[in-house]
Amino acid sequence: MTRLAITEKIGYAAGDAAANLVWRGALTYLAVFYTDVFGLTAAAAAALFLIVRLTDGITDIIVGMLADRSNSRWGKFRPWVLFSSPLLALFMVMSFTTPEFSQSGKLAYAYFTYIGLTLFYTLNNVPYSAMMGVMTDDQQERTSLSSYRFAGAFVGGIFVMGLLPEFVKYFGQGNEQLGYQYTMYLFALMLLVFMLITFVTTKERVVTTETPTPGEFKDLFKNLPFVLLPFAAISLFFYYRDLVTGIICAVALFICYVVINKLKSKPQDKLSKTQLDFIDLLSNRPWLILIGMGFLLIMYTGIRYGVAAYYFKYIINNETLLGYYFITLLVISIPGALATNKLSKVFGKKALFAGSLALSGFINGFIFWVQPEQIELLFVLGSVSEFFAAITPALYFAMLGDSADYSEWKTGRRATGLVYSAGTFIQKTGGGFAGALILLILANQGYNSQDSESIHAAKDSIIWLMSWIPSIFAFIGASLILFYPISGHLMNTINSELAISRKQ
């Protein structure tokens, strides 16, 4: 079993500090930036979030499978992190830049830049996440690495979520459009430095060799629609919520069920490598549970963080407190993430995950009764809830690595990049749904940032979105993870048997 040096764990964590300059910024500030600064309507922004997240489905799966099949003297995944960073930094700046276009021109520009941002985030973050599965074959060390990773993520989050409003004010001097643009210049430089640190300080050790063929890539594109179809149908129903889209959603899910079962019934020698990879995933019960869990987790996180800008602006009536609130939460998150490894040794991953998420959701719900003048109570509830919430993403990505080991143990085949790409796709899809849900609820209330009456009508919805609505997702997620089948004892058996088989 491979033990990792502290310097390598910190170096790996620097990559997620960089990634969260994009992820936390897009997740937290893009919605309010689009409606209140850029000038899009809430309905147009909601559609944008949903449509672009669906394109993520294509890129995540493709990048995961391509990374699995790539090889270089630097490994499978590290080169992707290095070479995608400059373009990711560029599109981060462009996404928060406001050109002097017409309304339709601005909408087209928003689609172009947001698609570019998510594309290069995928090229960077899917291989970065997959590195966790090949840096060490020790499950407990993987959990420790994940703890460091998310401590780094929360440090990056402090900059983008806590300090962004202050930087916007400082650089913009009353001009929010310029303030956002110049702030992103600073964050882009930080991203490039941190990603370089990750590339230089890390090493891949769990080595597998995959050699792609031209026919394999053709087969990938042939089978990909059956993976994306259910997500497209669910998104359509989520946006329109009527009988017609409900029927379309049900039919799409049924078609996928029939196709998948038909593939499973075929002999393995009659299936392509791409089909085998998909079947391995869909037969991997731990991974399937984690996929559902990842969606619920990011819905819980995405709604709370995404609505906070509206909450502080219209309920607390003090926008300047938003940055301090985020800083407080993220500072609290760091010890929560770092405590994950030790706590998982005591309680086990499954019990710790379920308990932490349920406690976080329960405490978060009490924000519903906080009055605008009770700032200290808001900060206390938010901080305690966030401490427990910070444990869950560290566990989630460590458990994704465990599910990749489980698949290799069961089938003799390993697709680390695909396992993590599908996991990150679900998370990003959840992020898109979370942002869209906020905007759709506000749109249904007739929200218009220029109309005081519509803002007043939306206040109750904003309070619910800050409290019990995300907590519902947390409670469902805490229930789902109880069905996760990999225990600590089984994982030890898997690691021991894989260590022997890899030497043969």
Report the alpha-carbon angle 367-370-376, nearest 5. Answer: 95
Distance CA 308, CA 84 (A): 31
d(CA 429, CA 433): 6
- State residue 82's pLDDT score: 92
**The token pair that represents 430 in the structure block:** 């959840």
Mean pLDDT computed over 437-461: 80
Burial 141-163 (b: 16+ CB within 10 A, else e): bbbbbbbbbbbbbbbbbbbbbbb
| pLDDT interval class at 20 (50, 70, 90) | confident
Task: Give the span between the Cα atoms of 77 and 252, in whole angstroms.
Answer: 34
Question: In the 3-class helix/strand/coil scheme, how is 436-455 assigned residue by residue?
Answer: HHHHHHHHHCCCCCCCHHHH
DSSP letter, residue 38 = I
How many Cβ atoms sit within 10 Å of the Cβ of residue 457? 15
Whether 270 maps to a domain, the answer reads: yes
pLDDT at 57 over 80: no
Write the secondary structure of 279-311 as one string of H (helix), E (strand) and C (coil): HHHHCCHHHHHHHHHHHHHHHHHHHHHHHHHHH
Q: Which pLDDT score is estimated for 14?
A: 92
Q: Decide: residue 371, CB within 10 A, 0-12 exposed, 13-18 middle, 19+ buried.
A: exposed
The secondary structure element, H or E, covering residue 363 is helix 349-365
Structure tokens at 478: 């805490």
Could you give the angle at which helices 391-411 and 139-157 cross, rounded to 10 degrees? 140
- pLDDT, one tens digit per residue, over 487-501 is 878 888 887 877 777
More confident residue, 114 or 451: 114
Which pLDDT score is estimated for 79? 92
Which pLDDT tens digit goes with each residue over 235-276? 666 556 567 777 887 887 788 778 777 877 778 777 777 777
Closest to 136 measured CA to CA, from 294, 300, 9, 302:
9
Rounded to an integer, the average pLDDT of 70-90 is 89
Mean pLDDT of 210-214: 55
- Asked if the structure places residue 1 within a domain, the reply is no
Q: How confident is the model at residue 472 (pLDDT cuts 50, 70, 90)?
A: very high
| Amino acid letter, residue 113 | T
Q: Side chain identity at 72, as an amino acid letter?
A: S
Q: Is residue 490 domain-resident? A: yes
- How much is the pTM? 0.73
In a domain, 250, yes or no: yes
pLDDT above 90: residue 91: yes
Split into its structural domains, the chain has a count of 1
| Host domain of residue 353 | 6-503
Produce one character per residue of 211-236: b if its CB has 16 or more CB atoms within 10 Å, e if not. eeeeebeebbeebbebbbbbbbbbbb
CA distance 311 to 323: 12
Rounded CA gap, 345 and 334, in Å?
19
Name which of 6-15, 84-93, 137-146 the model is least confident about: 137-146
Determine contact, residues 319/165, Cβ cutoff 8 Å: yes
Alpha helices in 69-163 (DSSP H): 78-95, 103-135, 139-157
Give me the DSSP letters along 205-225: -S-------HHHHHHHHHHHH
Q: What is the CA radius of gyration of the chain?
A: 22
Q: Does the residue 392 lie in any domain?
A: yes
The pLDDT tens digits for 401-429 are 788 788 778 877 766 767 777 667 776 66
Structure tokens at 67: 């990374």
State the Cα–Cα distance between residues 441 and 351, nearest whole angstrom: 34
Residue 382 contacts residue 311 (beta carbons within 8 Å): no
Structure letter (DSSP) for residue 271: S
Instruction: State how far the Cα of 195 lies from the Cα of 120, in Å rounded to an integer.
Output: 13
Answer yes or no: is 69 within a domain.
yes
Q: Identify the pLDDT of residue 2.
A: 67
Does some domain include residue 340? yes
Query: What are the Cα distances from residue 134, in Å, to 4, 22, 423?
Result: 12, 24, 16
Buried b (16+ CB within 10 A) or exposed e, 41-58: bbbbbbbbbbbbbbbbbb
Structure confidence at residue 473 (pLDDT): 95
CA angle 274, 279, 283 (to 5 degrees): 155
Instruction: Report how far apart, in Å, the C-alpha atoms of 215 and of each of 65, 247, 272, 340 are.
Output: 14, 35, 9, 43
CATH number for the domain including 448?
A: 1.20.1250.20
